[in-house]
């Protein structure tokens, strides 16, 4: 029993029942499960808003799903979910509410944190963002020399970069094509250099996005961007106000940087960085797609929030996806999870999910501070199909590891593609084929029947039984993007709740930051390295020698 009075996960009868059930299932093949239930493809499917989820190709039976739901009940997933939506401080290590759902709630709703309804201020910021975004889009926001803004550069990192950058790519067909939107995150000067080298400072606007406004990468890049701007314009500090705006929870630091706080867009400590692109952190995205489309995206998020909050366990998509991950990590030894979108516009989607999932659930201490004895968050990875098929899918099909995967596709290609829309059926045929091959494989008998020489048969046999979820939507619209992101957000929530970890802190990123601060002086001013470990001090000495220091 932990300090919160919860029995350890692996000692719960519901967990043990799943372990027993796993043994009983043994190697039961998806071929058998489909043969036993011809309707499985339709029965194991859910509709949520515009999303169709096929989970029939999972190594589960009705009994598995029932036992998983029992585990969710026993671990208090619903209780924690309701506490989150109510604004309780479920981020226990930071004593914070977790209310990204309030960012997309209609204005008529009430969501209270410490007795204050936060919905009015969410909508006040959305309106301020809309006014600003429209001014930039329509050319009414002019730079220091009076020229209209042609390029918006978002400077941020982690949650202050990945969300807007991913959504910008995903929604490119909805963006103003006569403007450019760029995203700078890496403290490697090459990132900023490549982003601005062909730009006219007079037509460039920087959005400095940082929840804390203390993140070293972002502040370093923002300072460098300010120098680039002022040098390029030959102007003094007074030019900054027309070319820099900020998104932050920290007005004092924004003012200290020299950005007028009238040009600051606020959000709040109850929004986690990786859950923040539907807050003011999405300002660059709103400038790209416009307030109306941004509103459609928020409505998509809200639709899935409401589904997660109200749908019964048997039909609750985030609950189901979360529990399937628990099943594979806990009872099949799966270490990783592939997200394979069949959309070129989703080129950053998996990178976005990596932070969402791995920063949330990459934990090994339970909410009461004890080490956990079960697997928590998987390694999330993947790139858009079909490129991956010609690279790493070999391992998915015939490697020694089980890697559950999500295959995501859209029925309708974007209108703008014109004649290239004709290629879409081929793209989607590949998606469906991969799910099929991973699930059912190809037996030695089938290979032999094709006349394959005997010595090649083992090499050309596919074991199958590799689980996938297929998520199909009609079209990649702003609303559908919001629905998909909310689906994953709540999936991650469910898993954190079952695993009894705090999905909303990220202490694991701190040590590297502290050490980098200690090491930097040794690189630049030759400070003594004797306090460093033998490997790091040798590396620092080598680096200094290479730099002639
Ligand atoms: O260091 C990790 C982290 O705190 C992320 O959680 C966050 O999204 C990122 O850094 C950026 O933080 P900020 O928005 O405060 O600059």
Q: Which ranges constitute the DSSP H helices of 171-215?
A: 189-196
**Whether the predicted pLDDT of 1 surpasses 70:** no
Per-residue pLDDT, 355: 98
HSE-up of 94 (CA within 13 Å, CB side)?
A: 14
Residue 219 CB-half CA count within 13 A: 13
* CA gap 496, 77 in Å, rounded: 9
Q: Is the CB of 291 under 6 A from ligand 1?
A: no
CA of 249 from ligand 1 middle (Å) equals 12
Q: Which atom of ligand 1 is nearest to the CA of 506?
A: 6
Distance, in Å, from the CA atom of 160 to the CA atom of 208, rounded to the nearest integer, reads 9
pLDDT at 529: 80
Report how many helices (DSSP H) and strands (DSSP E) the chain contains, helices first: 22, 13
For residue 3, pLDDT beyond 60: no
- Across all residues in the chain, what is the average pLDDT? 97
Checking if the pLDDT of 525 tops 90, the result is no
Alpha helix segments (H runs only) across 234-290: 240-243, 251-257, 283-289
pLDDT in tens, 61-101: 999 999 999 999 999 999 999 999 999 999 999 999 999 99
Q: Cβ distance 277 to 159 under 8 Å?
A: yes
Q: How far apart are the first and last CA of the chain?
A: 56
Indicate the CATH number for domain 103-293: 3.40.50.10490
pLDDT over 70, % of the chain: 99
pLDDT tens per residue, range 25-39: 999 999 999 999 999
Cα separation, 62 vs 64, whole angstroms: 6
Kindly state if the Cβ of 215 falls inside 6 Å of ligand 1: yes
Distance 346 CA to ligand 1 centre (A): 22
What the block records as the tokens of 496 is 């954190």
Distance from Cα 139 to the centre of ligand 1, integer Å: 31
| Residue 160 in contact with ligand 1 by CB distance below 6 A | yes
* pLDDT tens digits along 221-257: 999 999 999 999 999 999 999 999 999 999 999 999 9
Strands 51-54 and 468-473: antiparallel
Nearest CA to ligand 1 atom 2: 509
List, for residues 97-140, the tens digit of each pLDDT value: 999 999 999 999 999 999 999 999 999 999 999 999 999 999 99
The pair phi, psi for residue 122, each rounded to 5°, is -60, -45
Q: Is the CB–ligand 1 distance for residue 211 below 6 Å? A: yes
362 lines ligand 1 (CB under 6 A): no
Quick one: which of 306, 309, 299, 349 has its CA closest to 482?
299
Residue 3 alpha carbon to ligand 1 centre in Å: 29
**HEC secondary structure over 490-517:** HHHHHHHHHHCCCCCCCHHHHHHHHHHH
Residue 200 pLDDT class (50, 70, 90 cuts)? very high
Atom of ligand 1 minimally distant from the CA of 212: 15
The residues, any chain, with a CB within 8 Å of residue 475's CB and separated by 6 or more, are 410, 411, 412, 414
Torsional sign, CA 217, 219, 223, 225: positive
Q: 214 CA to middle of ligand 1, Å?
A: 9
ipTM beyond 0.85? yes
Structure-block tokens of residue 508: 């694991």
Q: Which of 298, 275, 283 is nearest to 153 (CA)?
A: 283
State both tokens at 61.
């039976």
What count of other Cβ atoms lies within 10 Å of the Cβ of residue 88? 14
326 in Cβ contact with 71 (< 8 Å): yes
Residue 189, SS3?
A: helix
Mean pLDDT of 400-423: 96
- What's the topology of domain 30-97+311-499? Rossmann fold (3.40.50)
Q: Is 243 in the pocket of ligand 1 (CB under 6 A)?
A: no
pLDDT score of 528 more than 90: no
- Whether omega before 386 lies within 30 degrees of 0, making that bond cis, reads yes
Catalytic positions are 359, 390, 513
Q: Give backbone dihedrals phi and psi of 19, rounded to 5 degrees, phi first.
A: -60, -45
Q: How far apart are CA 281 and CA 5, in angstroms?
A: 38
pLDDT at 198: 98
pLDDT tens profile 140-196: 999 999 999 999 999 999 999 999 999 999 999 999 999 999 999 999 999 999 999
Q: Are 29 and 464 in contact (CB under 8 A)?
A: yes
Nearest CA to 304 out of 123, 163, 76, 471 is that of: 471
158 pocket-lining for ligand 1 (C-beta < 6 Å): yes
* pLDDT at position 526 over 80: no
Pairing relation of β-strands 204-209 and 151-155? parallel
Longest dimension (CA), the chain: 78
């Amino acid at each position: 029993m932990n300090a919160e009075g919860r029995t350890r996960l692996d000692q719960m009868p519901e967990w043990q029942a799943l372990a027993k059930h796993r043994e009983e299932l043994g190697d039961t093949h998806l071929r058998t499960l489909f043969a036993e239930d011809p309707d499985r493809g339709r029965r194991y499917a859910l509709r949520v808003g515009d999303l169709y989820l096929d989970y029939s190709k999972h190594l589960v039976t009705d009994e598995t799903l029932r036992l998983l739901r029992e585990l969710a009940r026993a671990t208090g997933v619903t209780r924690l979910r309701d506490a989150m939506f109510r604004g309780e401080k479920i981020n226990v290590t930071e004593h914070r509410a977790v209310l990204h759902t309030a960012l997309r709630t209609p204005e008529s709703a009430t969501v209270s944190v410490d007795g204050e309804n936060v919905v009015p201020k969410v909508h006040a910021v959305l309106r301020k963002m809309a006014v600003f975004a429209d001014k930039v889009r329509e050319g009414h926001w002019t730079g220091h020399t009076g020229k209209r803004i042609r390029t918006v550069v978002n400077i941020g990192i982690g949650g202050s970069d990945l969300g807007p950058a991913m959504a910008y790519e995903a929604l490119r067909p909805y963006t103003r094509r006569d403007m450019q939107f760029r995203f700078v995150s890496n403290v490697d000067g090459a990132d900023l250099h490549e982003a601005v080298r062909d730009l006219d400072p007079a037509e460039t606007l920087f959005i400095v996005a940082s929840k804390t406004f203390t993140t070293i990468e972002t502040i370093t890049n923002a300072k460098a961007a300010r120098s680039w701007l002022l040098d390029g314009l030959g102007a003094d500090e007074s030019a900054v106000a027309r070319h820099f705006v900020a998104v932050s929870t920290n007005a004092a630091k924004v003012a200290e940087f020299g950005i007028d706080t009238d040009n600051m867009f606020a959000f709040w400590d109850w929004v986690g960085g990786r859950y923040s692109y539907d807050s003011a952190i999405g300002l660059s995205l709103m400038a790209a797609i416009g307030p109306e489309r941004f509103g459609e995206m928020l409505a998509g998020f809200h639709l899935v929030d409401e589904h997660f909050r109200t749908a019964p366990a048997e039909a609750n998509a985030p609950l189901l996806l979360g529990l399937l991950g628990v099943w594979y990590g806990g009872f099949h030894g799966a270490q990783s999870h592939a997200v394979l979108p069949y959309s070129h516009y989703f080129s950053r989607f998996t990178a976005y999910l990596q932070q969402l999932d791995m920063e949330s659930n990459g934990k090994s201490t339970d909410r009461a501070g004890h080490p956990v004895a079960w697997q928590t968050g998987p390694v999330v990875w993947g790139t858009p199909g079909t490129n991956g098929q010609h690279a790493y899918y070999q391992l998915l099909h015939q490697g020694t590891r089980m890697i559950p995967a999500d295959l995501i596709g859209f029925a309708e290609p974007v209108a703008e593609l014109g004649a290239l829309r004709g290629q879409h059926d081929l793209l989607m045929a590949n998606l469906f084929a991969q799910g099929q091959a991973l699930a059912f494989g190809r037996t030695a008998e089938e290979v032999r029947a094709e006349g394959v020489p005997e010595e090649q048969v083992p090499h050309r046999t596919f074991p199958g039984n590799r689980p996938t979820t297929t998520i199909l939507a009609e079209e990649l619209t702003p609303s559908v993007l919001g629905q998909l992101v909310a689906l994953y957000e709540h999936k991650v929530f469910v898993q954190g709740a079952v695993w009894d970890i705090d999905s909303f802190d990220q202490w694991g990123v701190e040590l590297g930051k502290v050490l980098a601060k200690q090491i930097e002086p040794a690189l630049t001013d030759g400070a003594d390295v004797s306090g460093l470990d033998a490997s790091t001090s040798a590396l620092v000495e080598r680096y200094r020698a290479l730099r002639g220091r």
